[in-house]
Amino acid sequence: MKRLLITATAISLLGLPLLANASPKQDLKELRAYFFKKFPGVKLQDFGNGIYALDPVRRDEWQNIEEFPPYEDGVAKGKALFKKYGLAKCFKNGGKGIKQNYPYFDSKSGKVRTLIGDIQACIVKNGHKPLGMKKGNMVAIEGYMAYTSRGKVQNVVVPNDKRALKIYNDGKTFFYAKRGQLNFSCANCHIDSPGQMVRGNLLGPALGQTSHFPVWRRKWAKKTLAKKGEVGALGGFGTLHRRYGGCNKQVRAKPLNSGKAWKTKQHPGYIALEYFHTYMSNGIKLNGPAVRQ
């Protein structure tokens, strides 16, 4: 904690590049312009590779791991589970190559639907028990669906509907709100400070941050190993919302989705965050699942 605080003071706490009342299109334009200026050598598509777009040494190491990716068994398991739960019927195109359109605004319900939420709804509709939302079998299924969507361009739509815009703006507000004992916003770390170090970690940019989920993290694999004595096919896997929770904890804020109540459903606050955050990756090709630290 002390160490983080010391590094934290070294982080530049700049203003917000995004205006409170701008449209999603303007927000995206400004965010891209900001990062193109900050990292002139990095092309739009490479932002999908997070910190590996910024640091050649870490990139080499990462590419070596990706040659024999530790998530492969998980994706195979996801494919089998996809079949077992009869998911093909619930989705367009039999569920293949569709992740780029998530999350989307459903005008009938007035809510934003995530891929994980739709997988869960289908599982329950088909008469099965709901799955845990942040890791395990659910992530394997998402991983398989991400795999079939590789190369598709992220295409989140925020229609001109007050309800959709409200959810988008709630997500944006969450991203810029300071929280936790350390009083840090997502933007402080992932907009103001990418390229800088915090606690021995290089900070990655917000642009492209969702393109490769779910991820297989070494940190999560180690955690599973310590708990169960083996990592297994799924032990390193986690969803975007699991990562949100981790980043909330880093600043000593309680994750929105902690506790039993959120085991089989997603928190609306994180759904709104995902809507805004994934919109910021529009135009970037999906490349999940991917390995991260």
What track of x and - describes contact with ligand HEC for positions 206 through 235 (by CB under 6 A)?
Answer: ---x-----x--------------------
Token pair 């910021």 is found at 280
Q: Identify the residue among 29, 201, 228, 249 touching ligand HEC (CB under 6 A).
A: 201
Provide the minimum distance between the beta carbon of 240 and ligand HEC in the complex, in angstroms, as a whole number: 6
**Is residue 267 within the footprint of ligand HEC (CB under 6 A)?**
no
Which residue, 85 or 244, has its beta carbon nearer to ligand HEC?
244
Residue pair 199/272 in contact by the 8 Å Cβ criterion: no
**Is residue 251 within the footprint of ligand HEC (CB under 6 A)?**
yes
Residues 6+ apart with CB under 8 A from 198: 4, 7, 8, 11, 189
Which residue, 86 or 258, has its beta carbon nearer to ligand HEC?
258
Which residue, 166 or 254, has its beta carbon nearer to ligand HEC?
254
Provide the minimum distance between the beta carbon of 176 and ligand HEC in the complex, in angstroms, as a whole number: 9
CA-to-CA distance for 30 and 46, rounded, in angstroms? 18
**Is residue 51 within the footprint of ligand HEC (CB under 6 A)?**
yes
Q: Measure Cα distances from 230 to 68, 221, 227, 239 in Å.
A: 19, 9, 8, 20
- In which region does residue 208 sit, left (phi positive, over 0), alpha (psi from -120 to 50) or beta (all else)? left
What track of x and - describes contact with ligand HEC for positions 147 through 186 (by CB under 6 A)?
Answer: -------------------------------------x-x
CA-to-CA distance for 210 and 206, rounded, in angstroms? 8
